[in-house]
Amino acid sequence: MRLHIITSPYYAANSLVIIPQPLEGTAPHAVVVDPSAGILPQLKATLEREGAVLAAVLLTHGHPDHVWDCARVASWGPAEKQVPVWIPGPDRYRLVDPAAYVNNMPARIELDEWVCPDDLRDFPAGSCELIPSLWMKMLPAPGHTEGSALFLAHSDLDVYADGQLIASSELPIPWALSGDVIFSGSVGRTDLPGGDETQMRHSLRTISHAVDPRTLLFPGHGPATTLQAEIDTNPYVTRARRIG
């Protein structure tokens, strides 16, 4: 599995390109995660460099800095066919107008007009083969938004940031897309519409007790971390484990 991290100028949101090992005799397929604004050339260049065919787009939640260019990226499917765009069901309503649910927070970059994807789908409960050779399990984790979730996987992994290899494991390891649920040393804010501080505490408590602490986390902002590191040092996780 190859994972590329590309950071957007739109609130420094992390977008990702995930490319599983292709089946024998087939071209590699890819998933683009959280296609933010301002990085279309980098996303396309990554797919082209990998010789990968876009097969799906995955949105960890519905905030505009994580979804803004999802329809444009989805149009890069084979023969310019729109690929499916997956999102946790409780956040699907946000894609009518994502900017309407962030209290008019300024984007601080110039945004193209919002376009809703044609083929928008709810990510199914439980495990799902999102594309060939990429199984992910959604763990609902509301608090930042109603549909916020972790997406759990287990595989060998090569991780690239700015084109440079930053982590590698030839053996299968647990890893997860943590969106804006949990960051290195912090968590997603809960004061925007749909946020709930109590739900966030419950989600963090559940994650810290139910998910393998060795799990490598790829958050929606900031550097990668591990769940164990957050259990040990993140004050929000410590508080959640103490009072729930």
Per the prediction, the chain carries an average pLDDT of 95
Mean pLDDT of 124-144: 92
CA–CA separation, 13 vs 9, rounded Å?
7
pLDDT for residue 22:
82
pLDDT for residue 132:
87
pLDDT confidence bin for 40, thresholds 50/70/90: very high
CA–CA separation, 211 vs 219, rounded Å?
15
CA–CA separation, 223 vs 244, rounded Å?
26
Q: 204 burial class (0-12, 13-18, 19+ CB within 10 angstroms)?
A: buried
pLDDT confidence bin for 24, thresholds 50/70/90: confident
pLDDT for residue 26:
79
Query: Of 3.50.50.60, 3.40.50.300, 3.60.15.10, 3.40.50.980, which CATH number belongs to 2-182+214-225?
Result: 3.60.15.10
pLDDT for residue 42:
97
pLDDT for residue 79:
80
Tell me the whole-structure pTM to 2 decimals.
0.96
Mean pLDDT of 193-221: 97
Which residue carries 């410590």 as its tokens?
A: 238
Question: What digits encode the pLDDT tens for the residues 139-148?
Answer: 999 999 999 9
Question: What digits encode the pLDDT tens for the residues 54-108?
Answer: 999 999 999 999 999 999 999 999 887 899 999 999 999 999 999 999 987 888 8
Question: What digits encode the pLDDT tens for the residues 178-203?
Answer: 999 999 999 999 999 999 999 999 99
pLDDT confidence bin for 177, thresholds 50/70/90: very high
Mean pLDDT of 20-41: 91
**Start-to-end Cα distance in the chain:** 35
pLDDT for residue 2:
97
pLDDT for residue 92:
97
pLDDT for residue 104:
78
pLDDT of residue 25 exceeding 80, the answer is: no
pLDDT for residue 121:
96
200 within 8 A of 143, measured Cβ to Cβ = yes
Q: What percent of the chain shows pLDDT beyond 90?
A: 87
CA–CA separation, 18 vs 50, rounded Å?
10
